[in-house]
Structure 1
Amino acid sequence: MSILQLNDVNTFYGGIHALKGISLKVEKGEIVTLIGCNGAGKSTTLKTISGQVIPKTGTVLYEDKNISKQPAHITAQTGIAHVPEGRRIFPKLTVKENLEMGAFAIKDKKDIKESMDRVFEYFPRLHERLTQKGGTMSGGEQQMLAMGRALMSKPRLLLLDEPSMGLAPVIVEQIFDIISDLNKEGMTILLVEQNAYQALQVAHRGYVIQTGEIVMTGLGADLIKNDQVREAYLA
């Protein structure tokens, strides 16, 4: 069953046609990756799904409901969590306060504690840094915090935008191991990633986007062997 489906989505920034008839789907329980060069429309796709950008035409269906015109704060309460490019944590808030911001729609304190305990299972380092200000943490720790904050809302669909950006290789490996673990536990993930090799290794399926258009799709294992993909993104 498709948890997410985009049908002929056209998104604009003023006069700039950023997404040109994008169609894609994510089945429940999958990791699907969207790869492409800088400026290809990857982040815009995620922003269109989460409601930060409203498409001019086309539909975004989440669990068979049309959310194309839905404001971002409403979408965030319906089971979609978006980890944006560049992490976007609250630098002056502590780790604990950042995580609590991710649970803004949860009223039951017991549920919040359960969510936080689950985050600490994935990211034990966050538990060690509980009272530390987010802005004083390393890049890898901030990425963990951004992902942990998203998990606090108990999402059914996780949107990850460039989780490996600017991180040391050993931290990248850790982040992708956690992405795989989340998926094994049932989390559906749409992953935008410039590190195409890492993304295709963990993804069930992938889409290649160029200048706002989907130009190729296939199984992750097939795309990683594709000559065009290898030349353009894996060389």
Structure 2
Amino acid sequence: MSLLTLENVHVFYGGIHALKGVSLSVDKGEIVTLIGANGAGKTTTLRSVCAQVPVREGRVFFDGREITRCPTHEVAAMGIGHVPEGRRIFARLTVRENLEIGAFAARDKDRVRARMEEVFGYFPRLKERLNQKAGTLSGGEQQMLAIGRALMSEPSLLLLDEPSMGLAPIVVEQIFEILGELNRRGMTLLLVEQNAFQALQLADRGYVIQNGEILLADAAQALINNEEVKEAYLA
């Protein structure tokens, strides 16, 4: 059953036609990756789901409900977590305060504490840095915090934009292991990732986007074996 569906989505930045009829779906329990060159429309696709950019034409559905015109805070409250490109943590706030912001819609303090412990189960380093200013964390720790903040809202769908960017290979491996564990525990993931091969190894299915249009959709392993995909994105 489809958890997320985009139907013929068009997005503009001023006079720039950034998405040109993007259609894709993510089923419950899947990991789906969106690959493409810089400027292809990957980040804009995620932002269109979160209502961070307006959809001029087309529709977005989440869990059977149209959310095309819903404001960002309502989309988040419905169960869509977003880990943006560049992490976008609050550098002057502590790790604890960043995580608490992720649970902005929760009113049960006991549940917020329980969520935080769940996050620490994935990222023990964050517990060690709990009262440290987020801006003083390493790049890998900041990425862990960005993911942890998104998890604080208990999302059923997690959107991740370039989670490995700028990180050491050993940290990237740790991040991807955690993403796999989140999926095994029932979370659905839509992943944008510069390392297309690693993303496809993790994913069930993938889409290739170019110049704001979906060029190809297939099982992840089929995309790994596709000669055109190999040449363009996996070389």
Q: Does 1:139 align with 2:135?
A: no
* Matched residue, 2:118: 118
Quote the offset at 1:80 in angstroms: 0.4
Residue correspondence of structure 1 range 105-184 to structure 2 within 5 A:
105-184=105-184
Residue of structure 1 equivalent to 2:221: 221
Counterpart CA distance in 1 for 2:10 and 2:43 is: 14
Give unmatched runs, 5+ long, in structure 1: none
Are 2:74 and 1:89 aligned?
A: no
**2:59 matched residue in structure 1:** 59
Offset of 1:73 from its aligned partner? 1.1
Deviation, 1:111, is 0.7
Which residue is 1:4 aligned to?
Answer: 4
Partners of 1:225 and 1:125 lie apart in 2 by 37
- Letter in structure 1 aligned against 2:75: T
Q: Deviations over 1:80-114 (max 9, x none)?
A: 01100000000000000100000000000011011
* Cα distance between partner residues in 2 of 1:204 and 1:195: 16
Q: Which runs of 4+ in 1 moved over 3 A?
A: none
Residue type at the aligned position of 1:134: A
Structure 1 residue matching 2:77: 3-state secondary structure: coil
Query: What TM-score, normalized to structure 1?
Result: 0.99
| Amino acid in the other structure paired with 1:188 | T
TM-score by length of 2: 0.99
Counterpart CA distance in 2 for 1:195 and 1:105 is: 33
Task: Report the equivalent of 1:191.
Answer: 191
Q: Which amino acid aligns with 2:82?
A: H
1:119 aligned counterpart, secondary structure: helix
Q: CA deviation at 1:221?
A: 1.0
How do 1:3-22 and structure 2 match up within 5 A?
3-22=3-22
- The amino acid across from 1:82 in the alignment is H
Cα-to-partner distance string for 1:29-60 (whole Å, 9 max, x where unaligned): 00000000000000000000011011100000
- Separation (CA, whole Å) in 1 of partners of 2:225 and 2:166: 26
SS at match of 2:3: strand
Aligned residues: 235
